[in-house]
Amino acid sequence: MKLLAVDTSTEACSAALFIDGDIRETFALAPREHTKLILPMIDKLLIDAGLLPQQLDAVALSRGPGSFTGVRIATGVAHGIAFGADIPVVLVSTLAAIAQDVLNRHQVDLTFTAMDARMDELFWGVYQPNALGLAELIGEEAVTPADKVDYPDREGVGVGSGWSVHGNALSSRLGDRVKYVINDVWPHAACVAQLGAYDCANGLAVPVEQAMPVYLRDKVAKKQSER
């Protein structure tokens, strides 16, 4: 399988190429520079691999939640490549990609994954590794105040930038279920590719016109529809 992955949903910007299990990634922590960086990143990956977009099986999109502008950038790029190459898109949660990065690097059974959503709220998802070590959602993703997050009655690790902003409230809410916190974690296109390849192999890729971003917050979604 050959799959291109794109993520611009946070301050981080990255692209990755999955080729039969091998993953190559270009990553930069570069706020407000995504539009300048993402296409050159993609071009370099494809050129180095000797591939044309038409030779890809799918594009994996980090579909949010995240920065409204950032998610739109990734969506536009993924749509453009998929439409031009006549290939499908597989949608990967940004929260799942963050959890996956930690699962790849640490022995963790559960992640309490949080991203700051501003307006005194956070994006929230709880993940566990499946039999293949891939992030599997428990319950539902949500945008919520920190003191109202839902969680299973299990121990886990706090993951993501949301813990830097809402750490006290989250710790108060979850109590001793939190073993420790890893807050300096960003979504990586390599993890989007990893999860996307699994979903694509399991028939979850969709036509480009069905590949819509997920903002979670209703107010943001309404603004998009009004534009």
Q: Specify the pLDDT at position 225.
A: 34
pLDDT of residue 217: 82
Token readout for 121 is: 């709220």
CA–chain centroid gap for 172, Å, is 26
Convert the pLDDT of each residue in 91-139 to its tens digit. Answer: 999 999 999 999 999 999 999 999 999 999 999 999 999 999 999 999 9
Mean pLDDT (the chain, rounded): 95
The pLDDT > 90 percentage for the chain reads: 95
Domains and CATH numbers, the chain: 2-93+187-226 (3.30.420.40), 95-182 (3.30.420.40)
pLDDT of residue 221: 38
Question: Is the distance from CB of 46 to CB of 4 less than 8 angstroms?
Answer: yes
Please classify residue 119 by burial: count the beta carbons closer than 10 Å to its beta carbon, then call 0-12 exposed, 13-18 middle and 19+ buried: exposed
Tokens, residue 38: 């993402």
Q: How confident is the model at residue 162 (pLDDT cuts 50, 70, 90)?
A: very high
Q: Specify the pTM.
A: 0.94
